Amino acid sequence: MISLPSIVEISNLTHIYSGDTKALDKLSFSVEKGEIVGILGPNGAGKSTTVKMITGILKPTTGSVKVSGLEVSGNLDAVRKLIGFMPQETALYEDLTAYETLEYHAELYGVPKEEVQDRIAKMLELAGLTHRKDDLVKTYSGGMKRRLALVRSILHDSELLILDEMSLGVDVQSRNLIWNQVRRLKSEGRTIIFCTNYMDESEALADRVIVIDNGHLVASGTPTDLKREYVGEYLIEVLIEGMDSEKNAEWLAGKVQLEVEKVSDPLNGGPRTAWIRSKEGHADLPIVIARIGESGLTVKQASMREPSLGDVFLAITGSTLRD
């Protein structure tokens, strides 16, 4: 496999806030050119601190951050021209219009004057805001503001885009629009790093996921590879009638010839729920139902689901992704 050049290199990154709070602890990873990388973790895990180090907003206590081969701490002006950053706080001037917002950003980042109008028109179209370009930002919905903040971050043709909680607080329609914009930017060859605590966002967008918890990198890989490594199987859930208290998970595993993760306790002689691990998924479901029937029991209900990144996080940390 050919390794692409890294646009971001983080090595042994540690950051300690005042009061000896260690937000990051010897964090190391790299991001290749053209990748979409999702940084996944609960609030307080160190996601936002990480991106603030990459953008130069915060300085490392120890360790190194490089963007396109430049050490961030010693090359802030050069690095910031390479980066488009959408912070968690939308940070727009409420009394400017969308057009004025982008015009101001173009001047701030030195966009050539002869290109400003065309670039702004393209960004407004990408954000779906052309028809509202002359309205004040304070009249926009939360989703419209996030879309404007996103295109503002790429107006100066940044090669690296960093999005901190891109869909935080927006409705489903705006979220889908933002996701589609991110996919389009990826198709144009941009490198994108985004922070999220939404599992489905990582699964939908990321080429690779980096899982951070308590300032440590705990896993890294494609969503598929992480699920295969840490969970590895489908989960079949069956509601079984006639399974008395003497029949346990081990007994059921012998009947279905698959690993049974758990069987619920019997309640007043009623049906019991069993959770069965399966590598083949849909192919195993009818076989499980048939084998349970052959053992003299009745399946009242059956369902199956694929493993999720939520299952991965649970397997790695022993807890669900907390808010």
Q: What is the pLDDT along the chain (323 residues), one digit of tens a residue?
A: 445 578 999 999 999 987 778 899 999 999 999 999 999 988 788 998 999 999 999 999 999 999 999 999 999 999 988 999 998 888 899 999 999 999 999 999 999 999 999 999 999 998 999 999 999 999 999 899 999 999 999 999 888 999 998 988 888 888 898 999 899 999 989 999 999 888 889 999 999 999 998 899 999 999 989 988 887 778 899 999 999 888 999 999 999 999 888 898 877 778 999 989 888 888 899 999 999 999 999 999 999 988 888 888 877 776 655 54
Domain 6-229: give its CATH code: 3.40.50.300
**DSSP state for residue 3 in the 8-state scheme:** P
pLDDT at 319: 60
pTM of structure = 0.79
Q: Are residues 146 and 118 in contact, defined by beta-carbon separation less than 8 angstroms?
A: no
Place of tokens 């003497």: 246
pLDDT of residue 320: 58
How far is the C-alpha of 101 from the C-alpha of 145, rounded, in Å? 11
CATH 3.30.70.1710 domain position(s) in the chain: 233-306
* 55 half-sphere exposure, CB direction, 13 A CA radius: 21
Burial of residue 140 (number of CB atoms within 10 Å: 0-12, 13-18, 19+): buried
- Rounded distance between C-alpha atoms, residue 305 and residue 101, angstroms: 45
Pair type for strands 160-164 and 191-196 = parallel
Residue with tokens 């964090």: 27
3-state percent breakdown (helix, strand, coil) of the chain, nearest 5: 40, 30, 35
Fold classification of 233-306 is: Alpha-Beta Plaits (3.30.70)
Q: How many residues does the chain have?
A: 323
b/e map 103-124, b = 16+ CB within 10 Å = bebbeeeebeeeebeebbeebb
Instruction: Please report how the helices 309-317 and 223-230 are oriented relative to each other, as an axis angle in degrees rounded to 10.
Output: 50
From CA 238, how far away is CA 263, in angstroms rounded?
Answer: 10
Domain with CATH 3.40.50.300 in the chain: 6-229
Question: Using an 8 Å Cβ cutoff, are 217 and 40 in contact?
Answer: no
Q: How far is CA 117 from CA 92, 107, 146, in A?
A: 20, 12, 21
Q: What is the pLDDT of residue 20?
A: 78
* pLDDT at res. 37: 97
What pLDDT, on a 0 to 100 scale, did the predictor assign at position 2? 47
What pLDDT score was predicted for residue 44?
Answer: 83
Burial call 48-69: b when 16+ CB within 10 Å, e when fewer: bbbbbbbbbebebeebebbbbe
